[in-house]
Chain A
């Protein structure tokens, strides 16, 4: 009995904090999404479903499609780049692991806006990349890469890669390598051993990595604004515009509610498809 009580005590901070400071504001947002905007500023407490109806205008539906397209593209690329990194990193010596961990975290110590400015210098017409490629004779006119879709994808991958690496790394680190050896001894090809043993065992890390990158990438829009010249309209920037330009708080709240629902749906679908139920529901 005493043991159970101390176990429950561990959960108290999470329960209290989440219920007060997370559920509270979000309930407020949910209510807000059914209210009506005031003439110039603020909201009036008049129940309406118009905010949700408004979302079905083609131009706004389009922003959801764009957001998913970008989030999925970035998540796939991040997985392809980040998984091997985390996997290789877990094989290093302890000293190198620590060094690499720090090397991965240090970039976060600089302002993300400023780091994006760094990429702008790379991509700019006649910038670093153009000069390099021209010197190598690959191209002879500037590429004009800045303010294009690929530039945005690079920015997204750059901003979120570390999340994937860390998640995969912490999973690979506790991987029992004797299992892989056993599979190889039993005649499995390296590829087969990887897919049947390694990948399966590191699935929890991969999954949390994907969630840690996919979810934020649905909401990240300032990268698209800065590196894409604001030409890709994502739900996040639409919400920002609605709040800070059109002063339409209820519509912004409705957009956010729908975005959250869709994100939840995507993740549960992903879990269904990958049969990762043994994770006993991350989310």
Chain B
């Protein structure tokens, strides 16, 4: 009997080694094969950026298969892209500030605009921004505005500005996104400063201001913040556009506030890495999703502000207020840009202090 067991275990051990080697060689082959095959688009972005119909529609029409790889943060993307020396991936969609760094690192190839027939559909409001002032490298895909949302049934405070969040009546009742530049920026705005101020003393002051906000903070997180607003866990939340869309669809009672101090916004954009194996596929894809009817499908799915002017009119009425900026929108807007390492370090320090003070 003993022998039987040991034989079985021995077999398992050997099988394990074999499986390890077999799987690795096989996967190694399949891992590099699509890049060489002409008909594959290696798309690298967050999970869930496109409705399945759009991806399938693209494949059906152009014949390019889509291999969808996903990352969790912009920084993971850039680290991977750097390790791949600008190769491996054909098309990347990421946030504005990281694209500026990627361009500076020489990982982005310049766009050949003659290959993009539908480029004219892009809303000029989202073009010529800091990360790509000449629009030479990127095509925007969705914009987000840092929005304040609150449930008037849960608090008597009428919120019209970031400063209102400091109201003691909101104790332990606010949710904020886990983004240090946005939240520190909120305090900077209350102090009348820019998001991108370089003076570390000013950032320090904003940090002190934030410490006063700490007792009001119930949670800090990026994912599914809308759930906490809807379930009544918190009365007010600072969150991303797609979450605002979800929250308001679930509970129309919620008030959306564009704070008086001005709002921050960010743009997600597509770019083609410098050594992309299949650039033609990437151009085909960019052009495909620039079509107004495709863009409409994408943005209704994504819940971010539509960056495609031609698609604005197609968007269904129920989504319209979330996906396009309100008529006569004139609040001051500012983007969060890359800053000096010293300023960054100070931001990080006050952010860590703030988080610890919230407990």
A residues near B, CB below 8 A?
A: 37, 39-42, 57, 59-60, 62-63, 66, 124-127, 144, 146-147, 149, 225-226, 228-233, 238, 241-248
Closest to B355 in A: A233
Q: Which of B78, B82, B180, B341 has the most CB of A within 10 A?
A: B341
Q: Are B180 and A241 in contact (CB under 8 A)?
A: yes
CA distance A42 to B102 in the complex (A): 11
Cβ–Cβ < 8 Å partners of A144 in chain B = 172, 233
B residues near A, CB below 8 A?
A: 73, 75-76, 78, 82, 101, 104-105, 172, 175, 178, 180, 217-221, 231-233, 338, 340-341, 344-345, 347-349, 351-353, 355-356, 358-359
Cβ–Cβ < 8 Å partners of B105 in chain A = 41-42
Given A231-B219, A244-B76, CB of A42 within 8 Å of CB of B348: no
Closest to A246 in B: B348
In the assembled complex, the CB of B251 is this many whole angstroms from the nearest CB of chain A, namely 15
4 A-B pairs with least C-beta separation = A229-B219, A230-B220, A231-B358, A244-B75
CA distance A32 to B221 in the complex (A): 29
Cβ–Cβ < 8 Å partners of A238 in chain B = 352
Cβ–Cβ < 8 Å partners of A225 in chain B = 178, 221
Cβ–Cβ < 8 Å partners of B352 in chain A = 59-60, 63, 233, 238, 241
In the assembled complex, the CB of B83 is this many whole angstroms from the nearest CB of chain A, namely 11
Choose one: A41, A66, A248; the contact of B78 (CB below 8 Å): A41
Cβ–Cβ < 8 Å partners of A63 in chain B = 352, 356
Q: Are B218 and A59 in contact (CB under 8 A)?
A: no
CA distance A57 to B353 in the complex (A): 11
Cβ–Cβ < 8 Å partners of B355 in chain A = 230-231, 233
Q: Are B348 and A242 in contact (CB under 8 A)?
A: yes
Q: List 10 A-B contacts (CB under 8 A).
A: A59-B349, A66-B356, A124-B233, A225-B221, A226-B221, A229-B358, A230-B220, A246-B347, A248-B344, A248-B348
CA distance A248 to B340 in the complex (A): 12
Choose one: A146, A149, A231, A244; the contact of B73 (CB below 8 Å): A244
Cβ–Cβ < 8 Å partners of B219 in chain A = 147, 229-231
Cβ–Cβ < 8 Å partners of A247 in chain B = 75, 344
Cβ–Cβ < 8 Å partners of A232 in chain B = 356, 359
Cβ–Cβ < 8 Å partners of B231 in chain A = 124-127
Closest to A13 in B: B17
CA distance A225 to B73 in the complex (A): 16
In the assembled complex, the CB of A6 is this many whole angstroms from the nearest CB of chain B, namely 15
Q: Are A125 and B233 in contact (CB under 8 A)?
A: yes
CA distance A232 to B220 in the complex (A): 10
In the assembled complex, the CB of A62 is this many whole angstroms from the nearest CB of chain B, namely 6
Cβ–Cβ < 8 Å partners of B76 in chain A = 244
CA distance A242 to B220 in the complex (A): 17
Choose one: A41, A127, A231; the contact of B217 (CB below 8 Å): A231
CA distance A147 to B349 in the complex (A): 23
